[in-house]
Structure 1
C-alpha cells in the first residue's frame, strides 16, 4: 500500500511521472479551440501594459477584470507567505500565467492547456519573462488538467495558487485541485453555466454541484453560491474547509469566478452551508439550516404557503458572505499602490472592490432585491437607488449595492417593508 505524507512535508525532489499515456482519452478541448493541426496566427494584444499574443486561442478581453482580481490576490499571498507557486490549469493563450509571473512575481508557474495547438503561442508569451540566473520560473504542458493536478499531488509537490478557468459547469477538477493545494493556498474556480444557475436545469446542478436550483430573481448570485457550495462539499469530503475571499460575476458569458482559501479542519457545524427559500407570492428570501428543513415556511402565510407551492427551496449551497472584508480591502490598497485605479478602466475596478466590501457585511442575507420588482409589487414608479437605500438605512436595516445587478440592493429588510417604503416615497397609500 502506498502511503502519502501530509501536506506539511516538503515537496518530493523527484520529477513527475512520464506524461505519456499508452491509452490516452481524447482531450477536452474548449468549444472555441481551433481544429487540430491548425497553424496559429499571430495577433498581439496589451493588458495592463503587458503585450502578448493570442494567436487563434480562445480569449476574452472582457475577462481582464477577473485576471486583475487573480493577480492582486496572488500578489498578496506572496507578500504574506513569502512564496508563490502557481498552476494555471487551463491557461488558453497563457496571459494569466504571464501576469502571475510579471505582476504577482510568482516564483514558479506551470502553464497547462489540454490543447497542444496552443503550444507556440503559450511559449511565445512565457518567454517574455526573463530567467533569473539558472532558476526555472515556468513550464508549459498540454495534458488533462485533472491528471496534472493528481500527479503533482502524488509527488507531494503542492501549489500556493491553482487557477482553473474552466468552461460550463465542470466540477470534476474540484477534488484534484484541493489535493494539489498547500494549506492556506488559494483556489480560483470558474463556472460559465448561467443556464443552470438560472434554475433551468435543476438536476444538472445536482449532478455538478450537489445543489438543487430553481428559478429565483437573483439567479446570478445563486450561481456564485452554487459554485462555492460545490467546493465546500468536496473540501468536507477530504476533511478540509474553504473560505471565500471574493466572488465575482461578469455578465459576459456569463462568468462566475470565486477565489477560496483552503483551511485545516471541517467547516464548523456546517455553518453557511444550507438552503435558501424564496416565496413567489411575497418575494421574501431567507436562509435555512439543515435542522430547519422540516419546518420551512414564509412569514407571509405560515399555514398555507408551503402547500400552495409559492415557496421554493434551493440548496444546499453557500449562504454566508460572498467576500472577506479584510482581504478585499488589502486588494484595493494594493491596486491603489500599483496605480490600477487611476484610469477609466481602473475606476471600474475601484468601484467593484468597494462594492464587494459593502456586500461582505455578515448581516446581509443571500440574494438581492431588484427595485423594479419592488415597484411592481408596490404598483408605483421605481424609486431612485440612493433614496431607497437611504430610507432602508433610516429604518434600521443594512443595505448595499450589488456588484451583480446594477438596479438591485442587498439588504436584510424584508420585501414587504421595501414595498411599504417604496409606496411612501411615491406618496401612495
Structure 2
C-alpha cells in the first residue's frame, strides 16, 4: 500500500521523535521503488539522512506485518486501492492504546450505493442512494472499523472523518474498554429514507438505560417511521447500520486548524486542507446526515430560497442549522423534516409553481397547509464564520479532469516504458 513510499519518507522527515516507519507494499516493484526513493532522498537531503534511515521497506501482506511486528504501532495508516475492509481486523489490534488509526477507502461507487450488495459483503452495511451518500459512506466506514475493534474488546473515537474528492479518509483513536464495547449498538443506527421526498429518519440499533449504578443494554425502539411517509405518502427504503455518533472531535479539529494557520507557509496544500478543517469545525456534530436544499426544491418543482434565507428561517423557528464538508448544498439541522417542508410551503405560497399534471411527492407535500409559518428575517448567525471571513470552503480542483489514476498494473519497468512510448506515438 505504500507504493513509492513518499508518504512514509515524509513521515520520517517531518515528524519528531519517530523510532521507525514501516513502509509496506505487496507488489515487489513497489518495494523496490521505496528502496530507490529512500536512497534518492538520502542523497538529496544529507541533513535528513538519519531520519530517512528510519524508513523500513517491506514486501509482504500488511496483515502479516501487523501481526509479526514486535511492538504495537503508535500510528497505522491504511491506504489501499479500493476497500480496506479485509485489513481492519489486523489494523485495530496492532495500534497502541490510544494510538491513531488512519483508514482510506476509494471504492466510492460501492459505498455510495451503486453496488449495495457488494457494500453489504465488504462492510456489513447497506448504503442508500441519496444526496447524503458521501457522508453515509464515511459513517459506513466508521461502523466497519468499530465492528472490527469490538471483536477484540476495543472501540474507536473518531477525531476527524472526511469525504475528499474521490475517496473518504477517517482518523480514529483506538482504545481497549469492555464497557465501551457494550455501548457500540447505541452508536450505530439504521436509516429509513423516503423514496418520494428523501425525508430520512434514524433508528438506533441499541440503547442503554442507567439507574443509579446499574446500566442495562437493550434493543433499539422502533419503528421510528410509519409504513408510508407522512409528508408525501411514498414508502421507505432501509439502509445501514451506520455510525451515528459524532464523526469529528471539535477540539482536535480546532487545534489542528490553529496549528495549520500558524504555519501557513509550510503547507503547499494549505487552501484545500484549511477549507476541509473549516467546514468540519462548523458542522453540527450530533446531527447525522443532511438534506440538500436544491433537491428539496426540485421535489416541489420550485426554485428554493437562498441558503442564507432558508437557514435563517430554520433558526427563527428555534432550531440549529449548519452546512457539511461533504456537500456544498447541504443543510444539516436538528429540525424535524416537517418543519423544513413547512418553511418551503410558505416559500411556494409567495413564489407559486405550476400545477403538476400527475401525482408526485411534491404535489402531496404542497397539498398540506403549513403549521409552522416561516419567519424570513435574515440572521447573521445563519452565515458561517468562514463565509463572514471570506474563507474558501469548497476550493476548485487544481486541474481539469481531476480524479484518480488507473490502478497500478503488474508491468515491469521496461514493459511499462514500452507501453508509454506506444501510446505517445499513437497520439
Matched, 1:362 2:285: yes
Please tell me whether the aligned partners of residues 227 and 236 of structure 2 are also in contact (alpha carbons under 8 angstroms).
no
Return the alpha-carbon distance in structure 2 between the equivalents of residues 124 and 422 of structure 1.
60
SS at match of 2:272: helix
Q: 2:223: which partner in 1?
A: 296
Q: TM-score, normalised by structure 1?
A: 0.70
SS at match of 2:303: coil
Q: 2:321: which partner in 1?
A: 399
Give, in angstroms, the shift of residue 281 of structure 1: 3.2
Written as runs of structure 1 = structure 2, the 5 A alignment for 1:377-388 is: 377-388=299-310
Match 1:267 to one of 181, 188, 202: 181
Give, in angstroms, the shift of residue 303 of structure 1: 5.3
SS at match of 1:295: coil
Give, in angstroms, the shift of residue 276 of structure 1: 1.7
Decide whether aligned partners of structure 1 residues 428 and 320 sit closer, same or farther in structure 2, where only a CA change above 3 A counts. same
SS at match of 1:211: coil
- Structure 1 gap ranges (5+): 1-89
- Structure 2 gap ranges (5+): 43-47, 207-218, 353-427
Please tell me whether the aligned partners of residues 248 and 257 of structure 1 are also in contact (alpha carbons under 8 angstroms).
yes
Q: 2:10: which partner in 1?
A: 99
Decide whether aligned partners of structure 1 residues 214 and 148 sit closer, same or farther in structure 2, where only a CA change above 3 A counts. same
The aligned length equals: 327
Return the alpha-carbon distance in structure 1 between the equivalents of residues 191 and 145 of structure 2.
18
Return the alpha-carbon distance in structure 2 between the equivalents of residues 268 and 326 of structure 1.
26
SS at match of 2:163: strand
Q: 2:80: which partner in 1?
A: 166
Q: 1:255: which partner in 2?
A: 167
Please say which structure displays the higher CA radius of gyration: 2
Return the alpha-carbon distance in structure 1 between the equivalents of residues 19 and 307 of structure 2.
45
Written as runs of structure 1 = structure 2, the 5 A alignment for 1:202-241 is: 202-241=116-155
SS at match of 1:267: helix
Q: 1:339: which partner in 2?
A: 264
Decide whether aligned partners of structure 1 residues 173 and 96 sit closer, same or farther in structure 2, where only a CA change above 3 A counts. same
Q: 1:55: which partner in 2?
A: none
Return the alpha-carbon distance in structure 1 between the equivalents of residues 267 and 6 of structure 2.
23
Q: TM-score, normalised by structure 2?
A: 0.70
Q: 1:82: which partner in 2?
A: none
Give, in angstroms, the shift of residue 136 of structure 1: 4.8
Indicate the larger mover: 183-192 or 119-128: 119-128
Give, in angstroms, the shift of residue 341 of structure 1: 8.7
Give, in angstroms, the shift of residue 233 of structure 1: 0.4
Q: 1:421: which partner in 2?
A: 343
Please tell me whether the aligned partners of residues 205 and 211 of structure 1 are also in contact (alpha carbons under 8 angstroms).
yes
SS at match of 2:327: coil
Return the alpha-carbon distance in structure 2 between the equivalents of residues 304 and 351 of structure 1.
40
Decide whether aligned partners of structure 1 residues 411 and 165 sit closer, same or farther in structure 2, where only a CA change above 3 A counts. same
Please tell me whether the aligned partners of residues 374 and 418 of structure 1 are also in contact (alpha carbons under 8 angstroms).
no
Please tell me whether the aligned partners of residues 203 and 222 of structure 2 are also in contact (alpha carbons under 8 angstroms).
no
Q: 2:396: which partner in 1?
A: none
Decide whether aligned partners of structure 1 residues 204 and 309 sit closer, same or farther in structure 2, where only a CA change above 3 A counts. farther
Matched, 1:276 2:199: no
Give, in angstroms, the shift of residue 196 of structure 1: 1.5
Please tell me whether the aligned partners of residues 201 and 224 of structure 2 are also in contact (alpha carbons under 8 angstroms).
no
SS at match of 1:245: strand
SS at match of 1:281: coil
Give, in angstroms, the shift of residue 421 of structure 1: 2.3
Indicate the larger mover: 269-278 or 285-294: 285-294
Indicate the larger mover: 208-217 or 175-184: 208-217
Please tell me whether the aligned partners of residues 401 and 410 of structure 1 are also in contact (alpha carbons under 8 angstroms).
yes
RMSD: 2.5
Give, in angstroms, the shift of residue 304 of structure 1: 4.0
Return the alpha-carbon distance in structure 2 between the equivalents of residues 195 and 145 of structure 1.
25
Written as runs of structure 1 = structure 2, the 5 A alignment for 1:18-417 is: 90-105=1-16, 106-127=18-39, 128=41, 130-132=48-50, 136-152=53-69, 155=70, 157-251=71-165, 254-265=166-177, 266-270=180-184, 271-291=186-206, 295-298=222-225, 302=226, 304-305=228-229, 310-339=235-264, 345-359=269-283, 361-364=284-287, 366-417=288-339
Return the alpha-carbon distance in structure 2 between the equivalents of residues 216 and 389 of structure 1.
21
Return the alpha-carbon distance in structure 2 between the equivalents of residues 325 and 126 of structure 1.
36
Please tell me whether the aligned partners of residues 164 and 190 of structure 1 are also in contact (alpha carbons under 8 angstroms).
yes
SS at match of 2:21: strand
Return the alpha-carbon distance in structure 2 between the equivalents of residues 340 and 401 of structure 1.
28
Give, in angstroms, the shift of residue 419 of structure 1: 3.0
